[in-house]
């Protein structure tokens, strides 16, 4: 029981977690999202390589599962530049990882940090393909794509993570944080 003369404020249930706790939670969630995106992408690609050789599995009209090895980026663009593409993508992902690390260290809100972790998880899955599926020269591996939308593109789970993370980041960047902004009393 608190003494009525105690000047320290009573703990409030609606307070944000302490800085260390909040940073630990954000770091844990970000690490989980990166790892989950990477692992789920690689597991689904392993399944596709095992099950979709020389066959297509229709899901709904105009959508099927069909194995394709993509040497480029989205829609096959950049296939002709080979290892340079992989180096550029490695630098982009390294930059995103640095941004994520700095954001966590500076206690950026989850709205700014976690969508980037989702993008990194997806991008890392595709980088694993480029680095470890190379057969001729280093950094020339083709990305495994297997979700075919006939009127759009063929993509994979890593692509879904990267695109959804980018969309989430954009939406959260332009919407307000629902928590009230603390104001300082006038002096």
Distances (CA, A) of 171 to 56, 84, 157, 166: 35, 32, 21, 9
Distance (Å, whole) CA 49 – CA 59: 18
**Catalytic site includes residue 159:** yes
**CB hemisphere CA count around 110 (13 angstroms):** 17
Query: Which candidate in 41, 145, 150, 177 is catalytic?
Result: 145
Query: Could you identify the residue written with the tokens 């009393």?
Result: 185
Question: What six digits make up the tokens of 87?
Answer: 């180096």
Q: What is the DSSP letter of 14?
A: T
Distance (Å, whole) CA 162 – CA 165: 5
DSSP-derived secondary structure for 86-107 = HHHHHHHHHHHHHHHHHHHHTT
DSSP-derived secondary structure for 125-180 = HHHHHHHHS-SSSTT-PPEEEEEEETTS-EE-HHHHHHHHHHHHHHHHHHSPPSSP
User: What are the residue numbers of the active site?
Assistant: 145, 159
């Amino acid at each position: 029981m608190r003494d009525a003369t105690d000047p320290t404020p009573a703990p409030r249930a609606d307070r944000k977690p302490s800085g260390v706790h909040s940073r630990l939670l954000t770091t844990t969630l970000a690490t989980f999202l990166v790892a989950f995106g990477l692992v789920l992408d690689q597991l689904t690609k392993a399944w596709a390589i095992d099950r979709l050789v020389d066959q297509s599995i229709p899901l709904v009209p105009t959508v099927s599962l069909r194995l394709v090895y993509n040497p480029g980026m989205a829609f096959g663009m950049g296939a002709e530049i080979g290892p340079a593409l992989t180096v550029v993508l490695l630098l982009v992902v390294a930059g995103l990882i640095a941004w994520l690390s700095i954001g966590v260290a500076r206690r950026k809100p989850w709205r700014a940090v976690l969508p980037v972790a989702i993008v990194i998880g997806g991008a890392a899955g595709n980088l694993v393909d480029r680095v470890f599926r190379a057969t001729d020269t280093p950094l020339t591996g083709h990305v495994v794509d297997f979700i075919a939308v006939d009127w759009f593109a063929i993509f994979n789970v890593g692509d879904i993570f990267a695109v959804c993370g980018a969309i989430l980041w954009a939406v959260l960047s332009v919407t307000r944080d629902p928590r009230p902004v603390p104001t300082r009393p006038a002096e």
